[in-house]
Amino acid sequence: MFTQKRLRWLTILSSLPLFGMVTAFGISPQSTSFQTLPPERKIIQTLSLPEVTISADSNSTYWHQENIRRGDTIAAILTRLEINQQDKADFIHAAKDSKAMRQLKPGEVIHAETTGDGELLTLRYFYGNGEQFLMEKIDDAFEISEQSAEAASRIRVGSGVIESSLFAATDAAGLSNNIAIQIANIFASDIDFYRDLHKGDRFTVVYETFHDDERNTHRSRVLAVEFINKGKSYRAVYFQAPGEEGDYYTPTGESLRKPFLRAPLEFSRISSGFSNARFHPILKQWRAHRGIDYAAPKGTPVMATADGVVEYSGWQNGYGNLVILKHHGEYSTAYGHLSGFKKGLRKAGRVKQGDVIGYVGATGMATGPHLHYELRINGVQRDPSKIIMPAAAPISKKNRTAFHRETKELVARLDLMRNTNFASAQ
User: What's the number of CA atoms in the CB half-sphere (13 Å) around residue 38?
Assistant: 3
Task: Give the integer Cα–Cα distance in Å for 112 and 83.
Answer: 10
pLDDT digits (tens, 9 = 90+) for 29-69: 444 444 454 555 545 555 554 554 444 455 677 888 888 88
| pLDDT tens figures, 316-353 | 988 999 999 999 889 999 999 999 999 889 999 999 88
Point out which residues pair with 159 in neighbouring strands. Answer: 204
Q: Would the pLDDT of 77 be above 70?
A: yes
Residue 104 pLDDT class (50, 70, 90 cuts): confident
| Residue predicted with more confidence, 90 or 131 | 90
What's the pLDDT at 211?
Answer: 63
- Residue 130's pLDDT is 62
Whole-model pTM? 0.51
Average pLDDT over residues 76-100: 90
Q: What pLDDT is stored for residue 325 in this prediction?
A: 97
Average pLDDT of span 173-199 = 85
Query: So what's the pLDDT on residue 276?
Result: 53
Using CA atoms, how far apart are residues 162 and 361, in angstroms rounded to an integer?
A: 31
Burial of 58 (0-12, 13-18, 19+ CB in 10 A): exposed
Q: Are 347 and 326 in contact (CB under 8 A)?
A: no
* Residue-level pLDDT at 224: 95
205 in Cβ contact with 158 (< 8 Å): yes
The model's pLDDT over 141-184, given as tens digits with 9 standing for 90+, comes to: 888 887 665 556 788 899 999 998 898 999 999 898 889 988 98
The pLDDT assigned to 52 comes to 43
Q: What is the mean pLDDT of residues 399-421?
A: 86
Say which amino acid occupies 290: R
| Predicted local confidence at residue 310, as pLDDT | 96
What pLDDT was estimated at residue 373? Answer: 92
Q: Which amino acid is at 238?
A: Y
- Rounded to whole angstroms, the Cα distance separating 109 from 64 reads 10
Whether the predicted pLDDT of 18 surpasses 60: no
Least confident of 97-106, 179-188, 365-374, 403-412: 97-106
| pLDDT greater at residue 382 or residue 26 | 382
Label residue 198 exposed, middle or buried (CB < 10 Å: 0-12, 13-18, 19+).
exposed
Chain CA centroid to CA 215, Å? 26
Question: What is the dihedral sign for C-alpha 261, 370, 178, 357?
Answer: positive
Those residues whose C-beta lies under 8 Å from the C-beta of residue 112, and which sit 6 or more positions away, are 63, 64, 66, 81, 83, 120, 122, 123, 124
Neighbouring C-beta atoms of residue 106, cutoff 10 Å? 17
Task: Tell me if residue 197 falls in helix, strand or coil.
Answer: coil
pLDDT at 242: 79
Residue (of 255, 232, 254, 251) closest to 411 by Cα position: 251
User: In angstroms, rounded to a whole number, what is the distance separating the alpha carbons of residues 426 and 422?
Assistant: 7
pLDDT tens-digit readout, 344-390: 899 999 998 889 999 999 999 888 899 999 999 998 888 877 777 76
Euclidean distance between CA atoms 111 and 5, whole angstroms: 105
The pLDDT tens digits for 238-296 are 998 877 778 899 999 998 887 888 788 875 555 554 455 444 455 445 455 678 888 88
* Separation between Cα atoms, residue 35 and residue 46, nearest integer Å: 30
